[in-house]
Structure 1
Amino acid sequence: ELTSLPDTIGNLSSLTYLYLGNNKLSSLPERIGDLKSLQTLDLGFNSLTSLPETIGNLTSLKELGLYGNQLTSLPESIANLTSLQTLRLNDNQLTSLPETIGNLKSLQKLWLIDNNLMSLPDASKQWLKDLKKNGCSVIN
């Protein structure tokens, strides 16, 4: 089981799929944001407590699996993932979503179950309604 990733992971600029599930990662290196070709990133069932702002550099990303971690918040830069179609945030400790999450216009599936969300930002309420109207499955 992996407990960390080397900074050199950022050198894999042509990588399109990365599965790192079921490890013991507690953080990600900043250079994860250099994986510009990445379309699928699965980090499910690790021990992540936060994400680097550079996650927002993964603008080709279509699927992001962050389920089964210990995330309490998401970086504002998540809003830059405008190609994202599936976002799995279930089974974390999220208490809120960033205001900027409404920028994820391509989203088709959003998993939020088993978190500690007390409320949603005003901007995200309309965003969620729009997502549902456009056929997005919001699993909450």
Structure 2
Amino acid sequence: MRQVLDLWRQELGQVPESVWQRTELNVLILADNKLVTLSPRIGELHRLSTLDLGHNRLTAVPDELGDLPRLGDCLYLHDNQLTELPRTLGRLTRLRYLNVGENLLADLPETLGAMAGLVELRAQHNRLTSLPDSLGRLRSLRELWLRGNLIDHLPPSTAGLHELRHLDLRENAVADLPEPLAGLPLLRQIDLRGNRLSRLPDWLASMPSLEKLDLRWNRIDPSLPVLRELERQGCVVLA
């Protein structure tokens, strides 16, 4: 039986020391507790598979977060005040879901690429201007959520995301459709609303799995031949 400790919305202010003695825990929920700091003792909870630290006031998380070898389901760090993430996150090679959205992150650590188990990465509403080159090593990634940042390009390594199905780049600074997308065989949905696009490449019509392309609130001529061809192929185009 999974051992769960749910302390959601208890207005704790800080985590009771007794929590760090619960080394049998598989799930620890500390969301919405006005937490400002997190003890390095988090690294003692070696059986954790899910950790929820969302909706707090954390400005940093300790390196010991990377000392959780069984953290394989979910790590929620969203809606805090984080300005950086520890490089030790790269040790979480089994983690499938990571949410670092709604923070103050200007970049993501290069060690992100070591998180080989990631299926979904959410980094929306931060201050990201670019992504690490190691992104393309996330060969299991299916969903990438980046809306509400300052990103104007994707690294060439993005071409390695062969399992990617959903890409959300809404409300960024993209002026040219990222060429690495051309070779992604399973990409079905791309959200590019509210960017700086004024032209589109012809290779867009050659993407084999594209089902929906949202280009609203750009400077795109909806009568472009490439868009008509996508519609002919059954892709839903919103321009």
TM > 0.5: yes
Describe the superposition over 1:81-126 as per-residue Cα deviations: whole angstroms up to 9, x where unpaired.
11100000111111111111100000001001101012222223x2
The equivalent of 2:163 in structure 1 is 134
C-alpha distance in structure 2 between counterparts of 1:139 and 1:47, whole Å: 26
Relative to 1, partners in 2 of residues 1:28 and 1:130: Cα closer, same or farther, differing over 3 Å? Answer: farther
Q: Are 2:29 and 1:16 aligned?
A: no
Task: Measure how far apart 1:10 and its partner are.
Answer: 2.3
1:12: how far off? Answer: 1.1
Show the counterpart of 1:111: 122
Measure the CA separation in 2 of the matches of 1:20 and 1:139. 28
Show the counterpart of 1:2: 12
* Per-residue Cα deviation, 1:53-108 (whole angstroms, up to 9, x for no partner): 00000111121001111111100100011110000011111111111110000000
How has the CA–CA distance of structure 1 residues 136 and 5 changed in structure 2, closer, same or farther, with 3 Å as cutoff?
farther
Instruction: Point out the structure with the larger helix share.
Output: 1
Aligned length: 139
SS in 1 for 2:64: helix
1:102 maps onto 2:107 in alignment = no
Contact 1:109–1:136 at 8 Å: present in 2 too?
no
Q: Per the alignment, in what secondary structure is the counterpart of residue 87 of structure 1? A: strand
**Quick check: which has more Rg, 1 or 2?**
2
* Identical-residue share of aligned pairs (%): 40
Shift of 1:42: 0.6
Greater relative CO (CA pairs within 8 A, separation 6+): 1
Which ranges in structure 1 are unaligned for 5 or more consecutive residues? none
Q: In 1, distance between residues paired with 2:86 and 2:78?
A: 16
Report the TM-score when normalising by structure 2: 0.54
- Structure 2: unaligned runs, 5 residues or longer: 1-10, 139-157, 170-239
Q: Determine if the alignment matches structure 1 residue 75 to structure 2 residue 104.
A: no
Segments ≥4 residues shifted beyond 6 Å:
none
Q: How does 1:18-37 map to 2 (within 5 A)?
A: 18-37=28-47
Letter in 2 for 1:133: H
Contact 1:107 1:131 in 2 (8 A): no
